[in-house]
C-alpha cells in the first residue's frame, strides 16, 4: 500500500487507471507537442546559422548584456511561479496572489525587453526581410514572445482568480498546469538564449564574404 500513497501528500489520489490526473497528463503531452514545435524552429535557425548574405550580422547587432538581463527576469519569473504554487497549495491566499502577480509583472518586463530589442534591431536595419538571420531570429523569438504573452494573460486570470478566492489548495492544480506552461516557455528561452545569443554572438558574414561588411 505504501506505493499507492501519492508522492505529493497535498494531492488526492486520482481516480484514474494510472493514478495520474488527466488534465496534468494532457498538459505534459501538450508540452511534448510544443517541444517539436519549437524544436523545428530552433533547428531551422541552426541550419541557417551563418548563412546570411548581407548584414547586419549577429556580431554587429546582438546586445548580450541586455539579453542577459531579460533572461534573468524570465528565470526569476519561473522562481516566482513555483513559489506562488507553493503558497497557493498551503492556503496562503495573499502570498499566493502576490507571487502570481510577480509572475505577470516579470513576464511583462520580459516582453518589454523584447519589444525594445525588436525596435532597436529595426533601427539598426535588421528586419525579417533583411537576411536569413533576421528571418529566423524574428520568427523564432516572436513565436516565443507570443507564447509568453499567452502565459501572461493566463497568469493574469490566475491572479484574479486567486484574489477572488476561487483558487484554493483543493484546485491548486489549475495553477500548477498553468505553471507547467510557464516553466516550459522559460526552458525554451534557456535554449534560445544559448543558441541564438551566446553561441551566435560572434557570427559574422559567411567565410569569404568578410570584405562585404558595410559599417
Per CB under 8 A, which of residues 55..94 are in contact with other proteins? 64-65, 68, 71-72, 75-76, 78-79, 81-83, 86
Query: Nearest approach, Cβ of 44 to other proteins (angstroms)?
Result: 7
Q: 18 or 211: whose CB is closer to other proteins? A: 18
**Among the listed residues 116, 119, 122, 199, the single contact to other proteins using CB under 8 A:** 199
Over the window 168 to 197, marking each residue x when it contacts other proteins by CB under 8 A and - when it does not, the resulting string is x-xx----x--xx--xx-xx--xx-xxx--
Q: Angle of helix 132-163 relative to helix 173-192, nearest 10 degrees? A: 160
Residue 139: all three cell numbers together: 520568427
Residues 6+ apart with CB under 8 A from 96: 84, 87, 88, 162, 167, 175
**DSSP state string for 37-70:** HHHHHHHHHHHTTT--SSS--HHHH--HHHHHHH
Query: Nearest approach, Cβ of 14 to other proteins (angstroms)?
Result: 8
Residues 6+ apart with CB under 8 A from 166: none
The answer to the question of residue 3 lying near other proteins (CB under 8 A) is yes
Cβ neighbour number for residue 112 with a 10 Å cutoff: 12
The answer to the question of residue 212 lying near other proteins (CB under 8 A) is no
Q: 114 or 130: whose CB is closer to other proteins? A: 130
The answer to the question of residue 24 lying near other proteins (CB under 8 A) is yes
**Number of chain positions touching other proteins (CB under 8 A):** 90
Contact (Cβ atoms closer than 8 angstroms) between residue 188 and residue 38: yes
The answer to the question of residue 214 lying near other proteins (CB under 8 A) is no
The answer to the question of residue 146 lying near other proteins (CB under 8 A) is no
Amino acid at each position: 500500500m505504501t506505493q499507492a500513497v501519492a508522492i505529493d501528500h497535498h494531492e488526492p489520489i486520482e481516480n484514474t487507471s494510472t493514478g495520474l490526473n488527466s488534465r496534468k497528463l494532457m498538459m505534459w503531452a501538450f508540452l511534448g507537442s510544443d517541444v517539436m514545435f519549437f524544436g523545428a524552429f530552433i533547428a531551422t535557425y541552426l541550419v541557417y546559422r551563418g548563412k546570411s548574405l548581407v548584414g547586419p550580422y549577429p556580431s554587429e547587432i546582438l546586445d548580450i548584456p541586455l539579453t542577459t538581463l531579460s533572461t534573468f527576469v524570465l528565470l526569476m519569473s519561473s522562481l516566482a511561479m513555483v513559489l506562488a504554487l507553493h503558497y497557493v497549495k498551503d492556503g496562503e491566499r495573499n502570498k499566493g496572489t502576490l507571487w502570481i502577480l510577480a509572475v505577470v509583472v516579470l513576464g511583462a518586463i520580459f516582453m518589454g525587453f523584447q519589444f525594445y530589442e525588436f525596435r532597436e534591431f529595426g533601427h539598426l536595419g535588421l528586419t525579417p526581410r533583411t537576411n536569413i538571420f533576421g528571418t529566423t531570429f524574428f520568427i523564432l523569438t516572436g513565436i516565443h514572445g507570443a507564447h509568453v504573452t499567452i502565459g501572461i494573460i493566463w497568469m493574469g486570470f490566475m491572479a484574479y482568480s486567486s484574489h477572488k478566492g476561487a483558487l484554493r489548495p483543493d484546485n491548486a492544480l489549475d495553477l500548477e498546469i498553468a505553471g507547467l506552461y510557464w516553466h516550459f516557455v522559460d526552458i525554451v528561452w534557456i535554449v534560445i538564449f544559448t543558441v541564438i545569443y551566446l553561441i551566435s554572438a560572434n557570427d559574422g558574414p559567411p567565410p569569404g564574404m568578410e570584405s562585404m561588411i558595410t559599417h
